[in-house]
Amino acid sequence: MNNINLDAALEAMIAGGIICYPTEAVFGLGCDPDNEKSVTQLLNVKQRDISKGLILIADNYGQCLSYVDDAKIPMDKRADIFSSWPGPVTWLLPAKASTPKWLTGRNDTIAIRISAHPVVKALCQKLGKPLVSTSANISGQEPVHSLLQARQTFGEQIACFVAGDLGGNSAPSQIKHALSGATIRGNE
Protein backbone atom coordinates (compact mmCIF):
# COMPACT_ATOMS: atom_id res chain seq x y z
CA MET A 1 0.00 0.00 0.00
CA ASN A 2 1.26 3.46 -0.85
CA ASN A 3 1.91 5.07 2.56
CA ILE A 4 2.83 8.39 0.94
CA ASN A 5 -0.66 8.58 -0.56
CA LEU A 6 -2.21 7.63 2.82
CA ASP A 7 -0.17 10.32 4.55
CA ALA A 8 -1.37 12.86 1.98
CA ALA A 9 -4.96 11.75 2.61
CA LEU A 10 -4.52 12.18 6.35
CA GLU A 11 -3.05 15.66 5.87
CA ALA A 12 -5.93 16.57 3.56
CA MET A 13 -8.55 15.45 6.11
CA ILE A 14 -6.83 17.23 9.00
CA ALA A 15 -6.79 20.39 6.87
CA GLY A 16 -10.55 20.03 6.28
CA GLY A 17 -10.43 18.54 2.78
CA ILE A 18 -12.41 15.80 1.10
CA ILE A 19 -10.72 12.61 -0.05
CA CYS A 20 -11.71 10.01 -2.63
CA TYR A 21 -10.78 6.41 -1.84
CA PRO A 22 -11.59 2.80 -2.81
CA THR A 23 -14.14 0.82 -0.79
CA GLU A 24 -15.65 -2.64 -1.05
CA ALA A 25 -17.69 -1.89 -4.20
CA VAL A 26 -17.21 1.69 -5.44
CA PHE A 27 -15.02 4.68 -4.80
CA GLY A 28 -16.10 6.76 -1.86
CA LEU A 29 -15.87 10.36 -0.78
CA GLY A 30 -14.89 11.00 2.79
CA CYS A 31 -13.75 13.49 5.36
CA ASP A 32 -13.33 14.01 9.09
CA PRO A 33 -16.81 13.44 10.58
CA ASP A 34 -16.18 15.98 13.35
CA ASN A 35 -15.45 18.84 10.94
CA GLU A 36 -18.81 20.44 10.11
CA LYS A 37 -17.31 22.59 7.36
CA SER A 38 -15.79 19.52 5.66
CA VAL A 39 -19.03 17.54 5.88
CA THR A 40 -21.00 20.50 4.51
CA GLN A 41 -18.52 20.84 1.65
CA LEU A 42 -18.83 17.10 0.90
CA LEU A 43 -22.64 17.38 0.83
CA ASN A 44 -22.36 20.35 -1.56
CA VAL A 45 -19.95 18.45 -3.86
CA LYS A 46 -22.39 15.53 -4.00
CA GLN A 47 -25.45 17.79 -4.17
CA ARG A 48 -26.88 15.69 -1.33
CA ASP A 49 -29.50 16.84 1.17
CA ILE A 50 -28.18 17.02 4.74
CA SER A 51 -31.43 15.54 6.08
CA LYS A 52 -30.54 12.08 4.71
CA GLY A 53 -27.60 11.57 7.07
CA LEU A 54 -24.27 9.94 6.22
CA ILE A 55 -22.44 6.68 6.80
CA LEU A 56 -19.40 6.44 9.03
CA ILE A 57 -16.94 3.74 8.01
CA ALA A 58 -14.39 2.48 10.52
CA ASP A 59 -11.57 0.07 11.16
CA ASN A 60 -13.24 -1.23 14.34
CA TYR A 61 -16.36 -0.63 16.41
CA GLY A 62 -14.42 1.08 19.19
CA GLN A 63 -13.75 3.98 16.81
CA CYS A 64 -17.52 4.57 16.60
CA LEU A 65 -18.36 4.77 20.31
CA SER A 66 -18.22 8.59 20.29
CA TYR A 67 -21.22 8.58 17.93
CA VAL A 68 -23.23 5.46 18.91
CA ASP A 69 -25.41 5.15 22.00
CA ASP A 70 -24.18 1.62 22.57
CA ALA A 71 -26.32 1.10 25.70
CA LYS A 72 -29.46 1.36 23.53
CA ILE A 73 -28.51 -1.64 21.38
CA PRO A 74 -30.45 -4.61 22.81
CA MET A 75 -28.43 -7.69 23.68
CA ASP A 76 -30.54 -9.86 21.35
CA LYS A 77 -29.58 -7.67 18.33
CA ARG A 78 -25.82 -7.59 18.96
CA ALA A 79 -24.98 -10.99 17.45
CA ASP A 80 -26.53 -10.03 14.09
CA ILE A 81 -24.75 -6.70 14.04
CA PHE A 82 -21.29 -7.71 15.18
CA SER A 83 -21.17 -11.00 13.25
CA SER A 84 -21.70 -9.07 9.99
CA TRP A 85 -18.52 -7.05 10.54
CA PRO A 86 -16.08 -6.46 9.11
CA GLY A 87 -18.02 -6.53 5.91
CA PRO A 88 -20.35 -4.76 3.51
CA VAL A 89 -23.27 -4.27 5.93
CA THR A 90 -24.09 -0.81 7.26
CA TRP A 91 -26.21 -0.73 10.42
CA LEU A 92 -28.41 2.13 11.55
CA LEU A 93 -27.54 2.26 15.24
CA PRO A 94 -28.94 4.52 17.97
CA ALA A 95 -27.04 7.81 17.88
CA LYS A 96 -25.80 9.57 20.98
CA ALA A 97 -27.63 12.83 21.69
CA SER A 98 -24.28 14.58 21.13
CA THR A 99 -23.82 13.15 17.61
CA PRO A 100 -23.92 16.08 15.18
CA LYS A 101 -27.00 16.50 12.97
CA TRP A 102 -24.67 16.98 10.01
CA LEU A 103 -23.99 13.23 10.37
CA THR A 104 -27.43 11.92 11.40
CA GLY A 105 -29.60 14.24 9.33
CA ARG A 106 -33.22 14.01 10.42
CA ASN A 107 -32.60 10.59 12.03
CA ASP A 108 -32.04 9.50 15.61
CA THR A 109 -29.68 6.82 14.27
CA ILE A 110 -26.15 6.87 12.91
CA ALA A 111 -25.15 4.65 9.96
CA ILE A 112 -22.04 2.60 10.82
CA ARG A 113 -20.00 0.09 8.78
CA ILE A 114 -16.86 -1.69 9.89
CA SER A 115 -14.76 -2.36 6.82
CA ALA A 116 -12.34 -5.11 5.92
CA HIS A 117 -10.99 -3.06 2.99
CA PRO A 118 -7.25 -2.52 3.59
CA VAL A 119 -7.22 1.10 2.35
CA VAL A 120 -10.24 2.04 4.46
CA LYS A 121 -8.75 0.33 7.52
CA ALA A 122 -5.42 2.14 7.03
CA LEU A 123 -7.12 5.53 6.59
CA CYS A 124 -9.19 5.07 9.75
CA GLN A 125 -6.16 3.90 11.69
CA LYS A 126 -4.19 6.96 10.58
CA LEU A 127 -7.06 9.35 11.40
CA GLY A 128 -7.78 7.52 14.66
CA LYS A 129 -11.52 7.50 14.06
CA PRO A 130 -14.13 6.70 11.41
CA LEU A 131 -14.43 8.55 8.12
CA VAL A 132 -17.56 9.91 6.55
CA SER A 133 -18.19 7.52 3.67
CA THR A 134 -20.52 8.18 0.79
CA SER A 135 -20.34 6.92 -2.77
CA ALA A 136 -18.32 9.06 -5.15
CA ASN A 137 -21.08 10.43 -7.33
CA ILE A 138 -23.42 13.35 -7.75
CA SER A 139 -26.66 12.40 -5.95
CA GLY A 140 -28.89 10.39 -8.25
CA GLN A 141 -26.06 9.41 -10.62
CA GLU A 142 -24.10 6.16 -10.78
CA PRO A 143 -21.08 5.90 -8.43
CA VAL A 144 -17.63 6.02 -10.00
CA HIS A 145 -15.57 2.85 -10.26
CA SER A 146 -12.12 4.33 -10.99
CA LEU A 147 -9.91 7.18 -9.88
CA LEU A 148 -9.93 8.51 -13.44
CA GLN A 149 -13.74 8.75 -13.35
CA ALA A 150 -13.53 10.41 -9.93
CA ARG A 151 -11.02 12.98 -11.16
CA GLN A 152 -13.18 13.72 -14.21
CA THR A 153 -16.33 14.07 -12.07
CA PHE A 154 -14.97 16.06 -9.12
CA GLY A 155 -11.63 17.56 -10.19
CA GLU A 156 -10.16 20.03 -7.75
CA GLN A 157 -13.09 19.76 -5.32
CA ILE A 158 -11.25 16.72 -3.91
CA ALA A 159 -8.12 17.38 -1.86
CA CYS A 160 -6.62 13.89 -2.27
CA PHE A 161 -7.34 10.87 -4.47
CA VAL A 162 -6.24 7.66 -2.73
CA ALA A 163 -5.08 4.87 -5.03
CA GLY A 164 -6.16 1.29 -4.50
CA ASP A 165 -8.30 -1.51 -5.82
CA LEU A 166 -12.00 -1.88 -5.15
CA GLY A 167 -12.91 -4.73 -2.81
CA GLY A 168 -14.73 -6.85 -5.36
CA ASN A 169 -18.33 -6.42 -4.18
CA SER A 170 -20.79 -5.78 -6.97
CA ALA A 171 -23.10 -3.42 -5.06
CA PRO A 172 -22.81 -0.77 -2.35
CA SER A 173 -23.24 -1.94 1.22
CA GLN A 174 -26.50 -3.29 2.45
CA ILE A 175 -28.14 -0.99 5.02
CA LYS A 176 -30.12 -2.50 7.89
CA HIS A 177 -31.91 -1.00 10.88
CA ALA A 178 -30.38 -2.45 14.04
CA LEU A 179 -33.50 -2.37 16.20
CA SER A 180 -36.12 -3.51 13.69
CA GLY A 181 -33.86 -5.68 11.53
CA ALA A 182 -35.48 -4.13 8.43
CA THR A 183 -33.38 -3.94 5.28
CA ILE A 184 -33.30 -0.33 4.07
CA ARG A 185 -31.06 -0.88 1.01
CA GLY A 186 -29.74 -4.00 -0.69
CA ASN A 187 -30.62 -7.67 -0.79
CA GLU A 188 -31.73 -9.69 2.19
pLDDT at 1: 47
pLDDT at 183: 87
Strand-pair partners of 109: 94
Q: What one-character-per-residue DSSP string does 86-135 give? A: SSSEEEEEEBPTTS-HHHHTT-SEEEEEE---HHHHHHHHHHTS-EEEEE
Digit-coded pLDDT (tens) for 151-173 = 999 999 999 999 988 988 877 77
E strands, the chain, where? 19-22, 27-30, 55-58, 89-94, 109-114, 131-135, 160-161, 174-177, 183-185
- Region 138-163 average pLDDT: 92
> How many domains does the structure of the chain reveal?
1
- Region 169-179 average pLDDT: 83
**Position 188 pLDDT exceeds 70:** no
Digit-coded pLDDT (tens) for 88-108 = 899 999 999 999 999 999 999
- Region 70-98 average pLDDT: 95
Domain coverage including residue 124: 3-185
Digit-coded pLDDT (tens) for 6-60 = 999 999 999 999 999 999 889 999 999 999 999 999 999 999 999 999 999 999 9
Rg, Å, the chain Cα set:
15
Which domain CATH number covers 30? 3.90.870.10
pLDDT at 27: 93
The pLDDT confidence band at residue 3, using thresholds 50, 70 and 90, is low
- Region 56-66 average pLDDT: 97
